[in-house]
Homo-oligomer: A and B are copies of this chain.
Amino acid sequence: MSTPEQSWFTEEHESSGSSIGFRVRERLHAEQTPFQHIEIYDSTDWGKLMVIDGCMMLTTRDNFFYHEMMAHPALFTHSRAKRVVIIGGGDCGTLREVLRHDEVEQVVQVDIDERVTRLAEKYFPELCESNGDPRAELRFDDGIRYMADCDPESVDIVIVDSTDPVGPAEGLFNAAFYSSCFKALRPGGIFVQQSESPLAHITLIKQMRSALRVAGFQAVRTLTFPQPCYPTGWWSATLARKGADLSGFRERGAQTKQFATRYYNAEIHKAALSLPEFVREELGE
């Protein structure tokens, strides 16, 4: 990996029996933080790669799918989100998308591992270009504790942009955490969390949706989108809303948005909420 010859970085995803790889020139960085093992690779066609504990986190070329879909559907569903909390999200790509919305007055991002952000600043500077925005506050702390200590009804949107539900992120996928988020949200507030692959992790999605309802959320919807660097290449986010439904969104606002996107638009927002037949059956929708 440290020679100039090309090789491949491949993530073999044990539970789904599938792998995804990228042709790389070299490994630019590797470190063990108190929380996880982080690697950065330079690839031939996908820009930089960030790998955490052997799992592909993002590439320069395809992160726009994920970051746009973690931010804009929630922001264009809320009538006017002033205060947003991001749990995880250390690469700052979701933060950048949230800050594109003028109605947002404050975003607090709470990632447990400062090193993710420091490496993103170096290797994915375009994702960090809004980190100096006066509306952004970057905290490096335990997101579970942060949400538990949050003032009740003080937040409009909580975005959980975490790694898979093993290791540091495990506690972000259960009813106790969801209850903290529910309490912290204002009425009409929206929770959104990355919810893995509909093809490979449908059981997890069902468990999440059930736990969100247990925590008090009345409306729950799962949306899907392509994400080439994640197992199966197809990913999802699950939204939940406190005391309001999730059937519509500010379609006119999305159609006339004053910022550029690469994946998201109003049509894609509607499309993402359309569930394939097997997903509909599994989720009982």
Contact = CB atoms under 8 A, between A and B. Distances in A.
A45 B13 CA distance: 11
Interface string A7-46: 0101010001111111100000000000000000001111
B19 A10 contact: yes
Interface in A176-198: none
Contacts of A267: 274-275
**Chain A interface size range:** 35 or more
Contact of A263 (B261, B270, B277): B277
A234 interface: yes
Contacts of A224: 226
Contacts of A232: 62, 226, 228, 233
A268 interface: yes
Contacts of A226: 199, 224, 226, 232-234
The prevalent SS among residues of A at the interface is mixed
Nearest to A224: B226
A43 B17 contact: yes
A262 interface: yes
Contact of A233 (B17, B22, B234, B264): B234
A167 interface: no
Nearest to A68: B277
A228 to B, nearest CB: 4
A280 interface: yes
A18 B22 contact: yes
A46 B18 contact: yes
A266 to B, nearest CB: 9
A35 to B, nearest CB: 28
A276 interface: yes
A271 interface: yes
Contacts of A276: 262-265, 268
Given A226-B226, A233-B233, A261-B277, A19 B17 contact: no
The 3 closest A-B pairs by CB, nearest first: A233-B233, A17-B45, A271-B271
30 contacts: A8-B12, A10-B10, A12-B21, A12-B23, A16-B45, A17-B22, A17-B43, A17-B45, A17-B46, A18-B22, A18-B23, A19-B22, A20-B233, A62-B199, A224-B226, A226-B232, A227-B233, A228-B234, A260-B277, A264-B276, A264-B277, A265-B274, A265-B277, A267-B275, A268-B274, A268-B275, A268-B277, A270-B270, A271-B271, A271-B272
